[in-house]
Amino acid sequence: MKKEFKRHLIFLVCLCFILVSLFSLIYIAEEADHDCTGEFCPICACIHIVKQTLKQLSSGIVASFAIISSLIVALAALIAALPILPCSTPINQKIRMNN
């Protein structure tokens, strides 16, 4: 039950992330050619907020991508180094195991 709940929660978070990004981009595209009223234009303020939101979301993606990629590189280096690392076992040392 807990596992299924977590899956549904993760799915909803991903869906919200995708929808926020999509609707933000649509809003910017629709309001890009509006008639600006000047310095205190509410549409320009909303566009600025939407751009900041997208910037914050993308910085989180970049940070998580950097962490995941560095972990993958470290794992690949470890797998490549495994045949080189000495493995000392009683059989390799030819120790007789009597009961």
Alpha-carbon distance 68 to 65, whole Å?
A: 5
Report domain extents, the chain. Answer: 2-30+44-75
Q: What is the pLDDT of residues 9-46, one digit of tens each?
A: 988 988 888 888 888 888 888 888 888 888 888 888 88
**Could you tell me the CA-to-CA distances from 26 to 13, 17, 21, 49, 74 in Å, in that order?**
20, 14, 9, 14, 39
Q: What is the pLDDT of residues 47-94, one digit of tens each?
A: 888 888 888 877 777 777 788 888 899 999 888 888 887 777 777 777
